[in-house]
Amino acid sequence: MLLIKALGVGIALAIILDVTIVRTLLVPAAMHLLGRWNWYAPEPLVRLWKKSGMSDLEETTVQRQPFTRNRRHARSGDVGIEDDLHI
């Protein structure tokens, strides 16, 4: 009976760790770093999507802006996460 309780606690801790660390921190960070490569699909799959009519793929180019700091916040000391860095 003690072994079953220990397994239950271990599984519960593993799920909590997975939800908090992996899914809320690591996956979004990796998706941000990968950018367009995050949405890569092999060519046969893209052809299948287009043939079946499920494709909403558009040939767009993503233009990345160079790293800049927002000078308005840099002087005032009041730095907002969304306003401070422009990538």
What are 47-69's pLDDT values in tens digits?
888 888 776 655 555 555 665 55
**Residues ≥6 apart with Cβ < 8 Å to 35:** 62
| Nearest of 17, 62, 15, 57 to residue 36 by alpha carbon | 62
What are 75-84's pLDDT values in tens digits?
445 455 544 4
Q: Which residue has the tokens 């990968």?
A: 34
Q: How far apart are CA 74 and CA 76, in angstroms?
A: 6
| 77 contacts 61 by C-beta, under 8 angstroms | no
pLDDT value of position 39: 84
pLDDT value of position 50: 85
What are 33-51's pLDDT values in tens digits?
998 888 888 889 888 888 8
